[in-house]
Amino acid sequence: MGGQSIPKLLRLRYHHVMARFPRTRLRRLRHNAALRELLATVRVRRENLVAPLFVCPGEGIRRKIASMPEQYHQSVDTAVDTARRWADAGLRGVLLFGVCDQKDPTGSQAWSDNGPVQRLIGELKRATPELCVFTDVCLCAYTDHGHCGILTERPDETRDVDNDATLEALATTALSHARAGADVVAPSAMMDGQVGAIRQTLDGEGLTSTAIMAYSVKYASALYGPFRDAANSAPNFGDRRTYQMDPRSPRQAVQEATADLDEGADILMVKPAGVYLDVIAELRRRFDAPLAAYHVSGEYAMLHAAAANGWLDLRAAVFEIFGAIQRAGADLIITYFAEQLANES
């Protein structure tokens, strides 16, 4: 008899509690897929994605990048075909990176008017005028030492990038991209004053409509390895911690972004994206300027590796992570997943 009374007692207590329970049941709005879709406020949209593209010398080249699945080195002709496919899929932005086979201490091929990047810009403006062409402005893929600027004259063991000597080279590179037709130049060398030097040079040449997307907050991250393989841009001595930001010093992000805006930046960027959501959110709170986030090669490669081992659903993980980047406040996302997302969003 006692064993039968306990369930009854529990039911009485349950109904007593539920009688006082709030009428709001939050699960009502998650009841079915259609309702969840109607109420979603964060959406990954193809119009907000920018696809990186590695362009190399030669013709007819479409060469796999081993550390970055589904990414390729492409010559100008094949790159145009790729960009046309991306435009047809609804993408509106492409970010060009040059791959160089003639390197020297100053990275002089970076501003060659006949370089692969400069040639591709012109071809893209003719073949896919609906695409906004962004270009990376840095020297690391063009210097024989792999650093992002011109080195000081000190002995090798203490050599570093000469900040002020590098500014002219970066401005000259940006000018060559703008003259070729780039819509947005994106200085990534993390030299103090690089945005101001580029803005002054462009304006002095009458290229006032060319925008600048500043790699304002670029950390010295362990997640760039696959990209350095792709661009053949790893430094052959030391590292880049004297100019890229220390991940342990997040407060410097606001200083960097403020300086770039003061110098004429039109768009700010945080790189990497997925592991610096707090920094993206802080810049979104502080500034009204357009904000980009770069989901970098290491983040991309890790997701592919986990999916290949059956440890996660790649599509679901990508949409979840990119939703988080948007929630943090990014307006644009630069990603190697751009084509996949464009075809599914």
Task: Verify whether residue 103 is a known catalytic residue.
Answer: no
Strand ranges, E, within the chain: 49-55, 62-64, 72-74, 93-98, 132-137, 184-187, 211-218, 267-271, 291-295, 332-335
Question: Burial, 296: exposed, middle or buried (Cβ in 10 Å; 0-12, 13-18, 19+)?
Answer: buried
DSSP class of residue 329 equals T
Say how far apart CA 143 and CA 246 lie, in whole Å: 23
Q: Is the pLDDT of residue 13 over 90?
A: no
Span 306-340, pLDDT tens digits: 999 999 999 999 999 999 999 999 999 999 999 99
Say how far apart CA 163 and CA 193 lie, in whole Å: 9
Instruction: Please state which of the ranges 41-50, 80-89, 138-147, 239-248 shows the lowest mean pLDDT.
Output: 41-50
By percentage, how much of the chain surpasses pLDDT 90? Answer: 83
Name the band, by pLDDT with cuts 50, 70 and 90, for residue 159: confident
Span 223-275, pLDDT tens digits: 999 999 899 899 988 899 999 999 999 999 999 999 999 999 999 999 999 99
Task: Verify whether residue 125 is a known catalytic residue.
Answer: no
- The pTM is what? 0.91
Count how many residues are written for the chain: 345
Kindly list the structural domains of the chain, giving each domain's residue range(s) and its CATH number in brackets, ordered by start: 45-344 (3.20.20.70)
Catalytic residue among 64, 103, 125, 271: 271
